[in-house]
Every structure is written in C-alpha cells, then in structure tokens.
Amino acid sequence: MRNANSFKEIPKGFLLESSLGFLLELPKGISFRAEGITFDKENIMNRTAILHIPMSEYAYGTDEEHVTIRLRSARGDLTRCILHFGDRACRQTPVIFTAQEMQICASDEYFDYYEAILSNPYKRLNYYFELCSETEHILYYGDCFMDECVDDRSEYYQLPYNHRADIVSVPDWAKDAVIYNIFPDSFATGRAYLSCCPSQKEFDGEPVHGKLGGTIKGIAENVSYLKELGINAVYINPIFAAGEYHKYDLLDYFHIDPCFGTNEEFREMVKLFHANGIRVIIDGVFNHCGWKFFAFEDVVKNGEASPYKDWFYRLSFPVIRPENGDIYPGYECFGYERMMPKLNTANPKVVEYFCKVCQYWLREYDIDGWRLDVASEINDGFWEAFRKAAKEIKPDAILIGEVWETARHWLDGKIFDSAMNYDFRKHCRRFFAEGSIDACAFDGRVTNMRMRYREQTVYAQLNLLDSHDVSRFLSLCGGDGRRYRLAVLFQMTFPGIPSVFYGDEKGMDGILEDEYRAPMNWQKEEDGLFTFFKKTILLRRTHTALRHGAFRTLCAERGSRLYAYARETDSDRIIIAINAGDAPVLLPETVYNEVSSTPASPGISQTAQAQTQQALPQTAQASQSGGKASLTGAAEILWQNGLCGQELAPMGWAVFRA
C-alpha cells in the first residue's frame, strides 16, 4: 500500500484516507487486499477518516460557559457519535463521565463533522468518543481505537482548562460589517470625481508619485455614496508616504503621503466617517519598507557601522541598491522586488518601532483596525507583540492578516482576528464564474473552509471576490452579469465579512494590474448593478440571521447546479436558493419543507426536528399578489428572480424568510 496509482481501476464512491498519505476511492460492497490487510466497506468502519485534534478548532471554548467539541468521520460511515466528558480533576477514580449525543453539524464531499456544544461544563475536561457504525461499536481516545475505558484519566483527550485568555474573541462589530475596499490613488479626487492626473511631490527631500489623482479628501467627500450603498466599514490600501503610486514602498510610517493629502485631512476623514456610522481600517506594511526608508538609507551609507544593520534580513556588505531591475540584490526583499527590502521583524528594536506605529494611528487618529500586508511571511512573535499593542489602545480594533492560504495558524486568538479569505474567491470562481464544479463540490469546499476554523473566526473572515492584487471577478465571469450577481448574493448571505472592491458595484472589470486598478468609473450610468449591490447589502443588514446565524446546506447534489442553504437563529430563518446552471430546475421538497417550517433550535435532536416537519405542509406554493411574491404557510419570498411556482430559471435565485 505504497502508491494509490496501483488501485486506479477501483471505481469511485468511498474515500479511504491513510496515515501514509494517499487517498483511495472504495465503493460500498467492494473489498480488496493489499500487503496482508483486507478492506471491506460493508464490514469495517473507516477508521482512517476519524479525526480529532485537541486544543484546536476541534476542541475550544466559545466563551467561559460553553465548549465546542468536534469529530470528523467518513461521510455516511457512522450511525451515532457520542461524546463522554468528565472532570479531569474528579476526586473519584475512575472519572465519572457524562454522555452527550453529537450531531452532524456539516458534511463535505468526503467527511461528516460531528459536534457537541457543552453548556457550563467542568472547567477542566477529559473526554472520549463512542463511535457506532452498522457493524462496529468502538471507543476513541488518545488517538487510539479502544474496546473499553481505562482508569488512568491521562489517557483520555484533555481540555486542561477553558481559560478566558485562550478563548478566541473577535470584535463584536465584525459580524455586522460590510467592508468597502478603497485603492486610494484610483478612487476619488472630489465628490463623484477622479482627476486621472499623475502627480509628483516631495517628502523629506524624496520624490513621491501619484498616478490617477485619488486623495484622502476625495474619499471623505464620497461618504454619502458609501452610505447609500449600505457600507459601514472601509479598508483603505496604503496611505503613508511612499515612492510609487501603490504606496507599498514606504518612506515613512507616521505621515500621510503628500499625493494623498495631510495627516489632518485624514483625521477629519475618520471623524466624518465615524459620524456616519462607518469604521476605518488602514493597511499596515511591516514585512518590508521602501529602499529610501531612513533605516535602510543608513545601512547603505554606513554599512556594518550602521546601528540599523540588524533591522534588515540577510544584508551583504556593502549594501548596494541595484538600478537594474533584473539583478538580484544582496539583501532579502518582498518577493524579488529590489526597492522593497525585507525587515527583520524578530529584532526587538524593529518590533518596538512598529508597535509605536500601530498605537500612534489608533490613539491619535482613532482608526478601527489594521489590514496587515504579507502577514504570513512575518514571525509570530512580531504579530503577538503588535496585537498586544493594538488591543491596549483599542480593544475592539480589528486585525486582518493578508494570508492567501489556510489561515488557521494565525487565527487561534493570539495573532489576528480575521484573514483575507482568498479561498472564498477561489471556490466562487470555480462554481459561479467558470462553472467547472457542481453544487456538491462547491458545498464541500465551502464547508471544509468553514470547518477549519473556530466558529468565532468564521464570522470574522474577510470574504472577497476581488482585490487590488487579483483580476476583477466580473472579468472571471466573462462579463456575464448574471453569474456575477449570483456570486455577490452568495457573498452577502454567507458567514463572514463581505468585502466589496471599489467599483465592483459599477461593473468595473480587468484582468491585468492596470485594468483592475483602473480609475473609479464615476460617470457610468446606473445599469441596475449598483441597485443590486445596494439591495443585497440591505438584505444582509436587515436580517440578523444573515450576519449571526448558523449555516446549513439544504440542497447540493452531484451533477446539479442548484445550491440551497439556510441561515438561522433561534427566531429567524432565511433560505437562499441559487440556480447557477443554464437550465431551469425544480426546487426540491427539502427546500419547501424548510420554508414552511419553524426555525430549528440549537440542541434539538434530529428526530424532534423531523417530527416537527412532518406535522407541517410538505410543499408551499409561490403566488403573486399585488406585485409581492409570497408563500402559503409560514414563509415569505423576500426577493426572487426567475422563480415561477416551484421552478427556478437559469441563473435565477430566491430568498425566503421562514
């Protein structure tokens, strides 16, 4: 069993994941033998799929009174999963355990995720799992499968102490945020106006450049535009003094770039935005600086005698700034960009300097948080100090890391509150823009994306479709506004913080950098897209379930392009059905059963839910009355496009309130 290639002839149907690092597809009812080991889907539990990781997203405190425990299994493999938990400081031996039935909280293509939420449990937990399949009944603890319990409590899984300092806590306002990402050079010079004129000014004797004429004053003068759209937070790309128009090659961290304006203009902008209910997040570039930054200037001038020689990474002396962009410099850079030398963020003096920068803008200008550039390339110690500095000044300031990959390492409560969720964009690209995956695969991927984090973190993820670093999503859709609208509707109804890149609401497109950073198209006549964005944002901000509610998949079948899901709280349930296909589809009874039933309550058993639904109508008919779509029974159609009876048109959607 060294190589999965030798089993290619086995048809797909069941995933076998081995600790040796390969994947096999094993259909139900098929067995095979390899190196003396027989696998039979009918007769054994798929133990290789079982996963539990203590002190992670699989076992964590949501607050001091609640603990969440999860276990992963192969999809459809278990018939029951029971958590047994006890006090690890229990004075009796063996420990007295309490049993709690676990429920499937999510499923992706290959796995079921079981979850139990313990209310007011012991502060110190030890626990194990009881796993049942059609033919097996085993216990699982200490990463071992066992036939019986033991007296030695140290052999069980442990949550040593649900300490308040270890509980992930993100700013309360994050769940309610809808962020507008502004690339300042490209946005506005004045009210609904961008000059598109390049500029050159001086900062401390060094030239700084602008390309399109955007300013801080221009951002401020368009506060009413942002309010009309429904935005309640902005994230602004770098605004500090720097050489190039993008401002990622910094000269100074305490002054606004002269091409954009002054510190005082920025202060007034923040005050104005706060007065209008809009929070302000700015971009922090601490992985690297510009090669005219004072400390780098000093090492170029003084070499090994410079007091700043340890501020940078892998310097070779003498330090030479190569004029030829094809030459690799004798120092570490951001990527291979010679004008952006990498800072040694493990140096205590560098840490101290940038913690002062952090606190300066929070304290003096009352910003609401930082988006942190190239966050994954900076050492953890720097970020832990930065977080401590930020929270000392403003406890509810948000820290958003630029992490393109899985971000669980940075989201354990000790570093960031959120990360730029490029996986969200990737999965939406495959399903909505390209149509290269079906609803089942899409649901599996977004489910996996949710389950890799603690619940608190999921609601603070920055869900983006595009940014200043990637092609516009409308271009990925081939200019198809129907596909684009479906992706935006999903973005606004999925857990996490939606992020709108400037001009998305005006249909801006672009594949290359100059295109997707193009001038804001203030003169474009409204073609319905701005109204669509405004309505989806209003939908999100109106319904608590879309911001705070649990997520549950209702319909995501293999080979289908129909995707339906619910967002629900104790008192409110919103159902969204999206047809991303080119043919009409009938909404299945699972969707109509939901819209004609009462919201599920946390902790209610699946049997009780089923009994409740059986007592309610099994279908609900859509009707038009006075121009307003509604459903018989308990549901209301909040918004629909292409819904006729039970049929949903190609690229259509329906949003129900049940």
Catalytic positions, written as ranges? 373, 402
Question: What count of Cα atoms within 13 Å lies in the side-chain half-sphere of residue 222?
Answer: 26
Of the candidates 380, 448, 367, 444, the one whose C-alpha atom is nearest the C-alpha of residue 412 is 380
d(CA 241, CA 294): 12
Identify whether the C-beta of residue 535 lies closer than 8 Å to the C-beta of residue 526: no
Three-state SS letters, 401-435: ECCCCCCHHHCCCCCCCEEEEHHHHHHHHHHHHCC
- State how far the alpha carbon of 331 is from the alpha carbons of 286, 296, 304, 310, in Å: 16, 11, 13, 12
On the question of a cis peptide bond just before residue 11, with omega within 30 degrees of 0, the verdict is no
The β-bridge partners of 288 are: 342
Q: Beta partners for 563?
A: 578
Closest CA to 592 of 635, 630, 557, 550: 635
Q: Are 61 and 28 in contact, with CB atoms under 8 Å apart?
A: no
**What residue spans of 27-152 are helical by DSSP H?**
none
CB 455 within 8 A of CB 68: yes
Q: Buried (b) or exposed (e) across 573-611, using 16+ Cβ within 10 A?
A: bbbbbbbbbeeebebbeebbbbbbbebbeeeeeeeeeee
What is the spatial distance between Cα 575 and Cα 592, in angstroms, rounded to a whole number? 10
Per-residue buried b or exposed e for 292-311, using 16+ beta carbons within 10 Å of the residue's own CB: bbebbbbbbeeeeebebbeb
Q: Report whether 500 contacts 533 (CB < 8 A).
A: yes
Q: Which tokens in the block code for residue 376?
A: 């994954």
| 171, 164 contact by CB (below 8 A) | no
* Structure-token match 């949501």, residue found: 62
Q: How far apart are CA 302 and CA 319, in angstroms?
A: 9
- DSSP of 29-64: T-EEEETTEEEETTTS--GGG-B--TTBTTEEEEET
Rounded distance, CA 443 to CA 464, Å?
17
Between CA 205 and CA 343 the distance in angstroms is 23
Whether 537 contacts 553, CB under 8 Å: no
DSSP tag of 552:
E
Residue tagged 């209610």 (tokens): 604
Alpha-carbon span 170 to 191, nearest angstrom: 34
